[in-house]
Structure 1
């Protein structure tokens, strides 16, 4: 009876690692029945059987408590368990049984990782802000000088020489790369921005339409098709219009780049239970499952070098979070992606 009151999973095992008894918490943790007399291996994922068996055998051999933490797939879900094996001494001073304690520490480990990530991002944010501020001025000077020299080469006889053509080409590269660096430092500053920005009554349908208009002016998206399904009765929202336009632009740009001129991007707005939803659904290749949990991580990108900083989605999530909202994602390879921005009224 005492075992059934414990919040931890408890498996009592004999020397052959057969289950003598298991409490309800243990059966629930490993999604198994409370059967006695069956091998423990039957309740474990195949790739973890040998590891857990060795933990228990060591407990029998050494008569000491041992513990490990392992990730297991149970009923289709990835969970982290703390497994503790302890020998049970018999009257003959021989370990005839062992107890395996099973504790689900998935949530605790997730919080621990989140705290570590927050600390690292705070430090990185301070560093990034300082670096960005220091780099912006010299980059502006480099870009300005390159632009000025290009203008001078456009006049006089020297403008027709082969050397001048080379100068013009390389100055163009200098200018282009300097402005790209300024864009990166601007993204870093945006990532560590002060969230205390001004909020005014904002028409989110207008924000979406403005973003669509800006995208239509970009030649790289000329072959793309964007449609809107906007709720005309959408109430105004206290928000920073510029920041939310940036979110819409970023999410829409990612979707259009993913589709590469094929398919349609549909942007919808609606009011659902006191929250405004802006949904962007594309017909692109979708996001691999292994990347879904990382797409909002700063500096994570699957784009080729030079085509993305990996800060766009992190910035978008930061803006939406500052507004008290969230971004939900649904995607599967070959089936496109749906990004839903949810903002409370």
Structure 2
């Protein structure tokens, strides 16, 4: 919460700042006015540089010592570069140096480098101080551009040093500089630099009388300049090629390139280049002996010379007038500056008085603010107290929220623990149910084993009695009595076989009937035998049998009788599940786990989840009383597990059942 004191302090700061801004604005010319004049001059610079220079002078008149240094430097630089363009070299040097000093103070390194180069050009073209100052500034420009990472600009200034040495008569030194710059421009792959250096080397070699070398460099310069499409660069190159061919006495080529140079010079209104091309053509036609053409060229040359002389005279007069005007302008500017200083002094006194009045008003505002502060201190104190109470209340709410969160976390943890306990309880109930079932089965197994044993003992006595009766019957004299006795014995023997079968079933139920010696069993043959035995039931149920047996031998190590009983029980259940008509599909497949998978699928009535859960329980049956013992699937399960196999039931009511049996393969047999 921001206090009222802070608000008042902020308002006072703004008032003082605004007052100071008014003071500053009243004593300094508006920068926007000067910038507008500079932009206006830039718009006419290309078409009318003298008009642009006059506009820049107006911008300079608006400058005072209170203006920003950068704005002052901009105005001086505009005056200097425009004067250089027109040819007012002394004035250009003065303005450029003024701009240079300010930009150096401001640390504008790139602009400083450009100003060094402009100063070198002003001294060179103005022929001031014999070229020494030009050389000094070109060297400074080279160093400055190199320092800020502009190698192309640096090399152009290095190449300008060659012009200075050539003007001094040091042509070999000039040639050396141009070649060094060419090597650097080749490395930088700069087209303009390579073009100019080739042209400069060709020109210098011509002046040294090395025309063959000059021709090579000039032709290469022409090839590069053609890519640039710059007529101002191409014209002197064509002229240099003409000079090389004249001195190599190839007058036809000299005529060709001199004419091309003349056309380019006239096209771009270059009077000096036109004069050079006409001079070359005059020499060519004179050496050819074509004096008529030479005379015509001589007439054209005289006209262009007179034009150039007049131009030079006008230029000198113009320069003299401009210099006089510049001196007068400087005197006027000094007088104007003195007048401005006097006005500024008067204005400062006026502003001082106004500032005193303004500060008095500000002081009154401060007093009012202090009085207001005293009146609202009590309110601020109450506000702080209320804020403190609010903070305490927020802390209490936060503590309650944390406690609620903790209670919620504890509740979630309790719910998770309850879920885990319920899961464990369900698992415990299932384990208890299985344990009770296993205990029942164990007790039942012991009971059935005992019953079978007890029945087997008297059965042995009966068998012994039958053997004795058979011997007695053989000795009977009466054939009729003998035949009757044999029939009775056969009935007794049939009953004995039935009792033996029941004992065998009881032994299977108890798990004591499987032989320990397993033999190779062909599952396919066993299934086919089971289908053959069950054929009457299959026909009566009106069901279709479909088989899809594996192509390889499906032989396992097992007990053939037990396997017959397993598949007979399962197939019989499938047949009985089909009430009207349906299909039973039997398939075998060898799995990658070295097991044989047997699937028996039917389209019968199916089973619910509850029935599937009890399907392997002993004595569990869905058939009517007297039609099933409930031991079929239980015995099958026991026999399959004794073969180290597994059985699984999947069923959907009113759709059908899939019984999947997996038995370990006899690998040695199946690999054969």
Q: Quick check: 1:209 aligned with 2:598?
A: no
- Report the counterpart of residue 291 of structure 1 in structure 2: 611
> Which of 125, 129, 133 is the aligned partner of 2:449?
129
Alignment partner of 1:324: what SS?
coil
* Aligned residue number for residue 410 of structure 2: 21
Change (3 A) 1:251 1:25: farther
Verify the 8 A CA contact 2:537 2:575 in the aligned structure 1. no
Q: Which residue in the other structure is 2:592 paired with?
A: 273
1:118 to partner: Cα distance = 1.7
Q: 1:220 to 1:263 in 2, by over 3 A?
A: closer
2:626: which partner in 1?
306
What is the CA distance between 1:253 and its match in structure 2?
0.5
Aligned to 2:546: 227
Partner of 1:238 in structure 2? 557
User: Would the aligned equivalents of 1:283 and 1:337 in 2 still touch at CA under 8 Å?
Assistant: yes
Distance 1:129 1:242, change over 3 A: same
Equivalences for residues 306-325 of structure 1 within 5 A: 306-325=626-645
CA distance in 2, matches of 1:184, 1:22: 62
Structure 2 residue 486 is matched with structure 1 residue 191? no
Aligned-partner SS, 1:207: helix
Structure 1 residues 184 and 302, CA gap change in structure 2 (3 angstroms): farther
Q: Distance in 2 between matches of 1:283 and 1:219?
A: 14
User: Does the C-alpha gap of structure 1 residues 334 and 138 become closer, same or farther in structure 2, counting only changes over 3 Å?
Assistant: farther
Q: 1:281, 1:112 → 2: CA distance?
A: 33
Residue 22 (structure 1) shift? 4.5
Structure 1: segments with no counterpart, 5+ residues: 1-13, 31-80, 83-101, 142-175
Q: How far apart, CA to CA, are the structure 1 residues paired with 2:496 and 2:439?
A: 31
Q: Deviations over 1:12-51 (max 9, x none)?
A: xx9xxx9553457954974xxxxxxxxxxxxxxxxxxxxx
Q: 1:233 to 1:285 in 2, by over 3 A?
A: same
Which is higher, the Rg of structure 1 or of structure 2? 2
CA contact (8 A) 2:578 2:604 kept: yes
Using the TM superposition, give the Cα deviation of residue 136 of structure 1 relative to its aligned residue in structure 2, in angstroms: 7.0
Call closer, same or farther: CA 1:181–1:282 in 2, change over 3 Å. farther
Q: Are residues 222 and 109 of structure 1, via their aligned partners in 2, closer, same or farther at CA, if it must alter by over 3 Å?
A: closer
Distance in structure 1 (CA, Å) of the matches to 2:651 and 2:427: 24
8 Å Cα contact 2:543/2:582 also seen in 1:
yes
Aligned residues: 230
Per-residue deviation, 1:121: 1.2
Q: How far 1:276 moved relative to its partner?
A: 0.7
Structure (1/2) with the larger strand percentage? 1
- Compute the displacement of 1:128 (Å): 1.6
Q: TM-score, normalised by structure 1?
A: 0.57
Task: Give 1:184 shift.
Answer: 5.8
Higher mean alpha-carbon deviation, 185-194 vs 309-318, is at: 185-194
Question: Counterpart of 2:410 in 1: which secondary structure?
Answer: strand
Change (3 A) 1:118 1:203: same
Counterpart secondary structure, 2:630: coil
Structure 2 CA distance, aligned partners of 1:239 and 1:272?
18
Deviation at 1:206, TM superposition (A): 1.3
* Structure 1 moving runs of 4+ over 6 Å: 136-141, 176-183
CA distance in 2, matches of 1:29, 1:270: 46
Report the Cα distance in structure 2 between the residues aligned to 1:264 and 1:139, rounded to whole angstroms.
44
Distance (whole Å) between structure 1 residues aligned to residue 592 and residue 414 of structure 2: 37
Q: TM-score, normalised by structure 2?
A: 0.31
In the TM superposition, what is the alpha-carbon distance from 1:138 to its structure 2 partner? Answer: 8.4
SS of residue in 1 equivalent to 2:644: coil
* 1:264 and 2:583 aligned: yes
1:248 paired with 2:564, answer no
Deviations 1:141-182 (A, max 9, x none): 9xxxxxxxxxxxxxxxxxxxxxxxxxxxxxxxxxx9999988
Task: Provide the secondary structure at the position in 2 that maps to 1:201.
Answer: strand
Is this contact kept in 2: 1:221–1:261, CA < 8 A?
no
Q: Does the alignment pair 1:107 with 2:496? A: no
Alignment of 1:71-86 (within 5 A): 82=421
CA deviation digits over 1:294-319, x for unaligned, max 9? 01000001111111110010000000
> Which residue is equivalent to 2:662?
342
Q: Is the 8 A contact 2:511 2:638 kept in 1?
A: no
Written as runs of structure 1 = structure 2, the 5 A alignment for 1:41-80 is none
In the other structure, the counterpart of 2:652 is: 332
Residues of 1 paired with 2:546 and 2:457: CA distance?
41
CA RMSD of aligned residues (A): 3.6
Residues 292-301 or 211-220, more deviating: 211-220
By percentage of residues, which structure has more helix?
2
1:53 matched residue in structure 2: none
- Cα deviation 1:82-113 (Å, max 9, x = unaligned): 4xxxxxxxxxxxxxxxxxxx662433443333
2: CA distance, partners of 1:22 / 1:281: 50
Q: Compared with structure 1, are the counterparts of its residues 193 and 20 closer, same or farther at alpha carbon in structure 2 (3 Å cutoff)?
A: closer
CA distance in 2, matches of 1:219, 1:231: 23
Q: Structure 2 CA distance, aligned partners of 1:300 and 1:251?
A: 15
1:336 positional shift? 0.5
User: Structure 2: how far apart are the matches of 1:219 and 1:266?
Assistant: 13
**Helix, strand or coil for the counterpart of 1:310?**
coil
